[in-house]
Amino acid sequence: MDYFLICLVAFLGSGLTLFSGFGLGTLLVPVFGLFFPIEIAILLTAIVHFLNNIFKLLLLGQKANKQVLLSFGVPAIVFALLGAFFLSYVEGMQPIGSYVLWGHTFILLPIKVCIGLVLLFFALFEIIPSWSQFTFDKKYLPLGGMLSGFFGGLSGMQGALRAAFLIRSGLSKESYIGTGVVIACLIDLSRMWIYVQNWSQNTGKIAYPLVFCATLSAFLGAFLGNRLLNKVTLKSIQLLVAVLLMVFSVLLGLGIL
| 3-7, 35-39, 68-72, 213-217: least confidently modelled range | 35-39
Is the pLDDT score of 257 beyond 70?
yes
Q: What is the mean pLDDT of residues 156-167?
A: 77
> Which of 52-66, 80-94, 213-227 is predicted least confidently?
80-94
CA distance 60 to 185: 12
Residue 119 has pLDDT above 80, yes or no: no
Decide: residue 232, CB within 10 A, 0-12 exposed, 13-18 middle, 19+ buried.
middle
Distance CA 73, CA 16 (A): 22
Average pLDDT over residues 66-70: 90
Q: Which amino acid is at 169?
A: S
Please give the residue range of the domain that contains residue 152. Answer: 3-254
What would the pLDDT profile of 191-214 be if each residue is shown by its tens digit? 666 667 766 677 777 788 898 999
Span 220-248, mean pLDDT? 85
Global confidence as pTM: 0.77
Which pLDDT belongs to residue 157? 67
Identify the residue with better confidence: 244 or 224.
224
**Cα–Cα dist 196/216, whole Å:** 21
The C-alpha atoms of residue 52 and residue 50 are separated, in whole angstroms, by 5
For the chain, the average pLDDT equals 82
CA dihedral 189, 194, 198, 200 (to 10 degrees): 70
Contacts of 171 (CB under 8 A, 6+ apart): 65, 68, 179
| Tally of structural domains, the chain | 1
